Amino acid sequence: MTVVVVKLGGHALDSLAADSPVLADLANDVVALREAGTDVVVVHGGGPQIAQLLDTAGLESRFCEGLRITDVATMAYVAMALSYVNVRIVAALNHAGLACAGLTGADATLARASSLGAPWDRAGASPAIDVRLIESLWRAGVTPVLCSVAVDGGGDLLNCNADTVAGAVAGATGASSLVLLSDVDQLRSDADDAQSCLSSVTMDQVRSMIDDGSARDGMRPKMVAALDALGAGARRIVVANGTRRHALRDALSLSIPTTEVVR
């Protein structure tokens, strides 16, 4: 069995309309993979939608090391925003011809995690993935679309970073490829220098970049997820810009600017 896990986030999700070109292209790319015998899981974030809802509610968006600080009140709005994003993505993908179903980590306790603790509070770490529900959907010809809400040991909700969840799913399924799509083309050796893009990095290089701060802000959790996924059994990690047309197809073929994380 060949598995591809794709994470969609950032400004690639600016439009959740039924006729969104990004979502239509994603649907077509996943259909092509399914027809070629590859099972796919789509994992998504929703940072802009969370920020907008928090702003409407008069709550501040706060981050530490690229991860959202999530107190109990914020967690309620995170769950609302991600549920909305999930149902809109599912509706658009089905409209474009991909049979898919929306999931959260609470469904069949698909993703169980623990709190990161202070200062992140209800932000989750190290999600353990139960793949049985995912596999049952594949057998039914349905593609799972998973938002990054997980549960802890007491059944309470946790806000997991979507890159983290995608990495955990990729490791649990032994994915042939984990494709991290956001709104940037590539990892940079210097985050402030657009000319320092990297087409390939090793796990050791990634560890060094995390330690010295070169991989920072939203790129940090992506690189941590890449390391976790490779360490757990995924075979290939690709970072690409999900706002490009047919980004999934072209990231897998490396025909657009990408960063590949290799062992």
Instruction: State residue 11's pLDDT score.
Output: 85
Question: Tens-of-pLDDT digits for all 263 residues of the chain?
Answer: 799 999 999 888 999 999 999 999 999 999 999 999 999 999 999 999 999 999 999 999 999 988 899 999 999 999 999 999 999 999 999 999 999 999 999 999 999 999 999 999 999 999 999 999 999 999 999 999 999 999 999 999 999 999 999 999 999 999 999 999 988 899 999 888 989 999 999 999 999 999 998 998 889 999 999 999 999 999 999 999 999 999 999 999 999 999 999 98
What does the DSSP assignment read for 149-182? EEE-TTS-EEEE-HHHHHHHHHHHHT-SEEEEEE
- Angle 135-137-110 (CA atoms, 0-180°, nearest 5)? 60
CA-to-CA distance for 154 and 150, rounded, in angstroms? 11
Instruction: State residue 1's pLDDT score.
Output: 78
Q: Residue 166's domain is classified under what CATH number? A: 3.40.1160.10
Contacts of residue 195, defined as CB under 8 A and 6 or more positions apart, other chains included, come to none
Burial of 91 (0-12, 13-18, 19+ CB in 10 A): middle
Instruction: State residue 56's pLDDT score.
Output: 97
Instruction: State residue 65's pLDDT score.
Output: 85
Total residue length of the chain: 263
Q: Which domain holds residue 99?
A: 2-262
CA-to-CA distance for 165 and 188, rounded, in angstroms? 23
Cα→Cα distances 193→202, 213, 214, 220, 245, Å: 20, 14, 11, 16, 25
CA-to-CA distance for 105 and 138, rounded, in angstroms? 17
Number of domains composing the chain: 1
- 133 half-sphere exposure, CB direction, 13 A CA radius: 17
Distance of CA 228 to the CA centre of its chain: 13
* β-pair type (177-182, 237-241): parallel
Whether residue 245 contacts residue 252, with contact meaning beta carbons closer than 8 Å, is answered with no
Instruction: State residue 191's pLDDT score.
Output: 87
CA-to-CA distance for 160 and 148, rounded, in angstroms? 5
Distance of CA 195 to the CA centre of its chain: 26
Instruction: State residue 10's pLDDT score.
Output: 84
Identify which of 214, 155, 179, 217 has the alpha carbon closest to the alpha carbon of residue 4.
179
Taking residue 253's Cβ as centre, other Cβ atoms within 10 Å add up to 11
**The model's pTM:** 0.96
Residue 206 tokens read as: 């990634």
